[in-house]
Amino acid sequence: MRGMKMKTWLITGASRGLGLVIARAALENGDNVIATARRPEKLSGLNDIANGKLLVVKLELNDTESVDKAVKAGIEAFGSLNILVNNAGYGQLGFFEEIDAEAVETQIAVNFLGTLNVTRAVLPVMRQAGKGHIINIASIAGVEGFGGSSVYCASKHAMAGWSEGLAHEVADFGIAVTCLYPGRFRTDFLDRSSVRYGSKSIDSYATESLKRIEELDAGNHVQPGDPEKLASVLVQLTNMPAPPIILPLGSDALKVFEKKKEQFDSVIKKYGDLVSSTDY
């Protein structure tokens, strides 16, 4: 992909996990990167390939002043902003009834509302330029609801629906929107330093809750997805003249999409008459 026109990326949540790997891939592709994080000091690992193309900026997703400052700093440093990768987020797992209201609100605020804040700040820049690409990192949890992850699923379903709607709203301005649905990738997402569980403990859920946590722990750091290959796909997407609006990533994500299609087909076949009976 080298040799194509250099781009400027803004990546949220770039200090760890997928965000860090994506930032490195963009830099290795010869592009400029505005790497944002709550704790920017954790991004020192990118200095070896920065070559004057890296700007590290502190960004608080739900502080609009912080968001505006980060976008402004990026424009001042590189003169443009072509690609926004909304990656920042975390997993609020556990059974819904065991998660207090504040934790639910925080999950939605970080995973969804924060994404809206950053996109709102970037869109005027892209509209004025007449081009741009917004890439939203959702999840297979934005396609299928999983028990023990209902709140996290809610945040990713919100991102998925908003992404598709936004894609239609901004297409006439030359701006593309792609919502990615990664499966399980080998990052620190399930590490105890990142994932959160409910603060309440209800006896009725105790057995299933423990089973779910044990399953997640056992599957941590043996996930099938390779973050570097995901990052490579993102670089390829940014060079496509007409990138897809939705794209699953990973063999497990493909299975989830196929399962959801089968579910829709089954509902239509079994309840089609009932569904269409509600028209005038």
Active site members: 152
Pairing between β-strand 175-182 and β-strand 132-137 as defined by DSSP bridges: parallel
For residues 85 and 176, what is the distance between their CA atoms, to the nearest angstrom? 12
For residues 63 and 54, what is the distance between their CA atoms, to the nearest angstrom? 23
CB burial readout 187-211, b (16+ within 10 A) else e: bebbeeeebbbbeeeeeebeeebee
Q: Is the dihedral of CA 177, 183, 184, 186 positive or negative?
A: negative
For residues 129 and 23, what is the distance between their CA atoms, to the nearest angstrom? 23
Dihedral (Cα; 134, 156, 183, 190), 10-degree rounding: 110
